[in-house]
Structure 1
Amino acid sequence: MKPYCFILMPFGTKTDEGGKTVEFDEIYKKIINPAVVNAGLTPIRADEEIVGGIIHKPMFERLMLCDYAIADLTTANANVFYELGVRHGIRPHSTILTFAEGMRLPFDVAPLRGLPYKIDENGLPLDIDDAIANITKRLDDCRTPIDDSPVYQLISDMPRMEIASLKTDTFRDSIEYSNLYKEKLESARKIDKKAISSIEAELGSIIDVDPAIIIDLFLSYRSVEDWTSMINLANKMTPILAQVVLVQEQIGFAYNRLGNHEKAESILSEVIKKYGISSETNGILGRVYKDLWKKHEEKGENVRARGFLKKSIKCYLEGFQSDWRDAYPGINAVTLMEMTEPLDKRQSKLLPVVLYSVERRISTKHSDYWDHATLLELNILSNDSENAINSLENAVTFIREKWEPKTTANNIKLIIEVRQKRGYKTKWIEDIYNELIKAGEN
């Protein structure tokens, strides 16, 4: 079995204090992962952001027991620095530091032999082959190690931890166990909720299960729209894991899908109260108010309906203003502005801002379904039928979960209904709506 190399780095897109962006998933995929594989090692990427930054038992085991580690210090991510401190405290060597050249770091890494890599103005990697070669060579050098931990370098009589082979074997078994269940869940998501439920039953008591597997299971239920199982699983989690922001947001999401809007609002409002406004939490809470608007409108309770419509627009708008890079709450805000009577005047000013946001995302990272679906809605709102068709064709090729096109179709249906009331021709929009419905059924 190949030795493991633990990768400590942020996920997704991050921006430093100077406003410079880094696409960490691209850095991992194009530089770090190939370098680790070239060195004859098995990469394991830290999953701290998947479980909300909680430093849990499996994380400590990986920090302690992986033969090698790479820490990316770019943007001075707090979790990475904490984990690097733990690693340096228990491992005298075989820890490599790397960072994006030209970005501000909290200290000089030159004495620690940090390896720079180059990125372009969009945060994407440059000179990839050179970066891979440099990291591969440093990993090879670690096979005849010298102390690279500043703790061990400065304190000559620092006691060295002896790691029992039994513990190491147990650790390796645990890693294989985690990878096995991630693969099982990936396959089960393509079948149905019963397949996912059978994996949960197979896991038994989840108290001692790797939190990364629990979160994967949790989100797998979401992918097949099994909202009740999501909530039931959250109730079985440890109190610490259950209170992670990601989990609380998705519980609120699940309650709303079950029609318990009041419970969903309570959970999501509490998250915002504790952690502040965010594009993700506000995006989910905005959906709660949006559903309440539709619910009261269908009952003919027009005053309450208009009140919830205003709350939804406000919630989405605050979420977008908190992070202009996330177009999701922005597109929902401008779509709902179409529903007001008269048309909300803010829409014309906001449309180009949301358009820039989503185009920026598409140009700087691998686009996903929501990027192209957002562009589709913007094209419809702007009456750009030609680009709308192009965005539709792109969006349907990125569908991961069946509920995704249904959600977009529901938004487009709202646009169709309000424009028909205003006397506009909507046949071309209806054709797009029908294509999305078919895509959600396949």
Structure 2
Amino acid sequence: MLPLCFVLMPFGKKAIPSGATVDFDAVYHDLIAPAIEAAGMEALRADQEVSGGVIHKPMYERLILCDFAVADLTGANANVFYELGLRHGVRPATTVLLYAGSERMPFDVAPLRALPYQLGADGKPTDVEGARQALSKLLETARAARGDESADSPVFQLLEGYTAPDIARLKTDVFRDCAHYAVEARKQLADARRAGKDALKKAAGALGEVQDLEAGVVIDLFLSYRALSDWQAMVDLVAQMSAPLARSVLVREQLGFALNRLKRRDEAEELLVELIKEHGASSETNGLLGRVYKDRWDEARNANELLKAKGALSKAIDTYLKGFEADWRDAYPGINAVTLMELKNPPDPRRLELLPVVGYAVKRRLAHGTPDYWDHATLLELAVLQKDEDAAMEAAGNALAAVRESWEPETTARNLALIRAARAARGDEVAWAAVIEDELDKRAAG
């Protein structure tokens, strides 16, 4: 079997201190991965693990146990440097460094040998063939020098008598099999999601006991159920998870989301309030809790329980607002707060101050990152609130093109319907918004 080579690098498009934007995915696919393959190795990239801050063990297994590693230091990414430090602490050699040649290497690693490569104006690597060959040659040299005393780790270079842990004793076929198993499981789950709920349940059964699965696979399955709106399956899966995984923030947040969708609102509220007490307000947790209070408002309003509805609406606005204040970069709780302020009778005057702030937040995200469905949906709601038909139609088209899961357009359509109904009650019609609602509902149903 080919030796594994772990890749430490950012992913996606990232701005770096020099002001340039680097397409790290292009660096990986065009330069690093082919060079690793040419050197007779198999690449494993850190971002292939499910993200969210809870899947540490599989990443550390690969980082420490892989025979070889490549680290891209471009932009001085904190995660990359932390992972490199771990690697240098247990591996005396077989770690190859590279960086964009126009960048200055940080002081702490400036003395280390690193391969420079060049970037074009589009943030993608240039002279790819030459850079591939140079990187492949360094990996081949590292492979030939295994067992040599020439270390590339500054820890082993500077600390006399420091010896590496007995990694060979820990390395077994189980690790190698698990690396491939996780990749195969991800593919099986992706195929099953496209086929529907029955296929996903069948695929889940084929994976084996949840307690025995790699954490990344469990999270993938958990979010696959969410993608197909199988809320009960999400709840059932959490009950089967290991205690550390079930207690993670990501799992508890999404469990709260599923419980609320099942109308088990008291349980959802208790869980999310506990999370906020433990970790403080956050855009995600508060956004989910705000949805609980928003649904209570809607139910009370429909039942003509006006005082109860008024209290729930105020609580929802306050919760969403705290989530937005916890991280101004995340416009999702902000747009929900603004929308609910519009639904009050009379409308909450604070919405006029908040609208441009939410607009700025989402526009900065669109300018500096890879936009997702919620970014476009936020612009859509903002345009409807501001009665800008042209902007709303454009944002609606972009949102529909970015839909990932059916509950997303369903949520947006519901918000737009609430805005339209509230304004109609005040004699302020926005009839054209109904066309957008219909398209969102069709996409949710499809």
Q: What interval of TM-score do these two structures reach, taking the shorter chain for normalisation?
A: 0.7 to 0.9
Distance 2:15 2:253 in 1: 23
Q: TM-score, normalised by structure 2?
A: 0.87
Deviates further, 208-217 or 60-69 = 60-69
RMSD (Å) for aligned C-alpha atoms: 3.0
SS at match of 1:142: helix
Q: 1:94 to 1:104 in 2, by over 3 A?
A: closer
Does residue 134 of structure 2 align to residue 137 of structure 1? yes
Q: 1:135 to 1:157 in 2, by over 3 A?
A: farther
Q: Check the 8 A contact 2:9/2:72 in 1, yes or no.
A: yes
SS at match of 1:129: coil
Question: Which residue is 2:204 aligned to?
Answer: 200
Question: Which residue is 1:261 aligned to?
Answer: 265
SS at match of 2:108: coil
Question: Which residue is 1:330 aligned to?
Answer: 334
Distance 1:13 1:261 in 2: 38
Q: 1:401 to 1:127 in 2, by over 3 A?
A: closer
Alignment counterpart, residue 173 of structure 1, candidates 166, 177, 182: 177
Distance 2:19 2:293 in 1: 33
Question: Which residue is 1:379 aligned to?
Answer: 383
Q: Deviations over 1:290-346 (max 9, x none)?
A: 111111111211112111111111111121122222111111111111101111111
Letter in 1 for 2:45: R
SS at match of 1:43: strand
| 1:90 positional shift | 2.3
| 1:54 positional shift | 4.7
| 1:267 positional shift | 0.9
The percent identity for this pair of structures is 46
Q: 1:293 to 1:72 in 2, by over 3 A?
A: farther
Q: Check the 8 A contact 2:12/2:24 in 1, yes or no.
A: no
Structure 1 gaps, min length 5: none
Alignment counterpart, residue 238 of structure 2, candidates 227, 234, 239: 234
SS at match of 1:420: helix
After superposition, where does 1:304-383 map in structure 2 within 5 Å?
A: 304-383=308-387
After superposition, where does 1:422-437 map in structure 2 within 5 Å?
A: 422-437=426-441
Question: Which residue is 2:69 aligned to?
Answer: 69
Deviates further, 256-265 or 203-212 = 203-212
Distance 1:218 1:281 in 2: 18
Q: Check the 8 A contact 2:119/2:125 in 1, yes or no.
A: no
When the two structures are aligned, how many residues end up with a matched partner? 432
Q: 1:296 to 1:9 in 2, by over 3 A?
A: farther
Structure 2 gaps, min length 5: 143-149
Question: Which residue is 1:50 aligned to?
Answer: 51
Distance 2:19 2:226 in 1: 30
Distance 2:273 2:119 in 1: 39
Question: Which residue is 1:60 aligned to?
Answer: 60
Deviates further, 66-75 or 285-294 = 66-75
Question: Which residue is 2:33 aligned to?
Answer: 37
Question: Which residue is 1:113 aligned to?
Answer: 113
Distance 1:11 1:267 in 2: 32
Q: 1:284 to 1:51 in 2, by over 3 A?
A: same
| 1:82 positional shift | 4.5
Question: Which residue is 1:418 aligned to?
Answer: 422
Q: 1:410 to 1:99 in 2, by over 3 A?
A: farther
Does residue 29 of structure 2 align to residue 28 of structure 1? no
Does residue 7 of structure 2 align to residue 7 of structure 1? yes
Letter in 1 for 2:238: A
| 1:114 positional shift | 5.0
